[in-house]
A and B are shown apart, each in its own frame.
Chain A
Amino acid sequence: MNDTAKKWEEMTWQEKREVRFKRWLNPPDVKFVSPEAERLYKERVTRFIKAIKLEEPDRVPVMLPHGNFPAYWGGATFRTIMYDYKKGHEIWKKYMEEFGDMDTFNGPAFIPSGKISEVIASKTQKLPGLGLPEDASMYQFVEGEYMKADEYDAYMMDATDYNIRVMMPRTSDFFKSFAKLPPLRMSIGNPWVAALADPEIRQTFQSLMDLSDEYIKWRTAGMEINNYIRSHGYPSLFGGGPLLGAPFDHFADVLRGTHGIVMDMYRQPEKLHEAMESQLKLVTSQIKNFPMMSSPVCIMPLHKGDDTFMSDAQFEEYYWPTLRAVFLAMIDEGLVPMPFAEGKYNNRLKQIADTPRSGVVWWFDQTDMAEAKRILGDVCCIVGNVPTSIMMTGNVEQITVTCRKLIEDCAPGGGYILGGGASIDKGKIENLRAMMAAAKEYGVSKK
Chain B
Amino acid sequence: MSGDFANLLADLKEDEVLRLTEERIESGEDPLKILDDSRKGMGIVGKRFADGEYFLPELVFSGELLKQVTELVKPHLKQAVETKRLGTIVIGTVAGDIHDIGLNIVDFMLDVNGFKVHNLGVDVAKEKFVDKVKETKAPIVGLSGFLTPAFDAMKETVEALDAAGLRKDIKVMIGGGQMDDEVRKYAKADAFGKDAMAAVALAKDWVGAK
A and B interact physically: yes
Q: A: which residues have CB within 8 A of B?
A: 126, 131-133, 135-138, 140, 142-143, 258-259, 262-263, 265-267, 308-311, 314, 342-343, 366, 387-390, 392-394, 421-426
How close is B196's CB to chain A, nearest CB, in angstroms? 10
Establish whether residues B148 and A314, one from each chain, have CB atoms under 8 Å apart when the complex forms.
no
What residues on A are CB-neighbors of B178 within 8 Å?
388-389, 421-422
B206 within 8 A of A: no
* 11 A-B residue pairs with CB within 8 Å: A136-B96, A136-B149, A262-B60, A262-B64, A266-B57, A308-B56, A309-B56, A310-B57, A388-B148, A390-B182, A393-B185
A389-B179, A393-B151 known; A310-B56 Cβ under 8 A: yes
Establish whether residues B14 and A422, one from each chain, have CB atoms under 8 Å apart when the complex forms.
no
Q: Is the interface of B mostly helix, strand, loop or mixed?
A: loop
Establish whether residues A140 and B55, one from each chain, have CB atoms under 8 Å apart when the complex forms.
no
- C-alpha gap A390/B56 in the complex (Å): 27
- C-alpha gap A421/B182 in the complex (Å): 14
What residues on B are CB-neighbors of A133 within 8 Å?
95-96, 123
How close is B205's CB to chain A, nearest CB, in angstroms? 21
- C-alpha gap A266/B68 in the complex (Å): 15
B101 within 8 A of A: yes
Establish whether residues A387 and B182, one from each chain, have CB atoms under 8 Å apart when the complex forms.
yes
B54-81 interface code vs A (CB 8 A; 1 in, 0 out): 1111001100100000000000000000
Q: B: which residues have CB within 8 A of A?
A: 12, 14, 53-57, 60-61, 64, 95-99, 101, 123, 147-149, 151-152, 177-180, 182-183, 185-186, 194-195
What residues on A are CB-neighbors of B97 within 8 Å?
140
- C-alpha gap A309/B59 in the complex (Å): 10
- C-alpha gap A138/B151 in the complex (Å): 14
Establish whether residues A266 and B98, one from each chain, have CB atoms under 8 Å apart when the complex forms.
no
- C-alpha gap A263/B57 in the complex (Å): 8
What residues on A are CB-neighbors of B61 within 8 Å?
262-263, 265-266
How close is A369's CB to chain B, nearest CB, in angstroms? 15
Pick from B57, B99, B148, B182: contact of A422, CB below 8 A.
Answer: B148
Pairs A-B, 9 closest by C-beta atoms = A389-B182, A393-B186, A262-B60, A262-B57, A389-B183, A311-B55, A388-B178, A309-B56, A258-B101
What residues on A are CB-neighbors of B14 within 8 Å?
266-267
Establish whether residues B151 and A387, one from each chain, have CB atoms under 8 Å apart when the complex forms.
no
How close is B179's CB to chain A, nearest CB, in angstroms? 7
Establish whether residues B151 and A389, one from each chain, have CB atoms under 8 Å apart when the complex forms.
yes
What residues on A are CB-neighbors of B12 within 8 Å?
266
Establish whether residues A263 and B149, one from each chain, have CB atoms under 8 Å apart when the complex forms.
no
- C-alpha gap A327/B146 in the complex (Å): 28
- C-alpha gap A135/B96 in the complex (Å): 9
- C-alpha gap A309/B152 in the complex (Å): 26
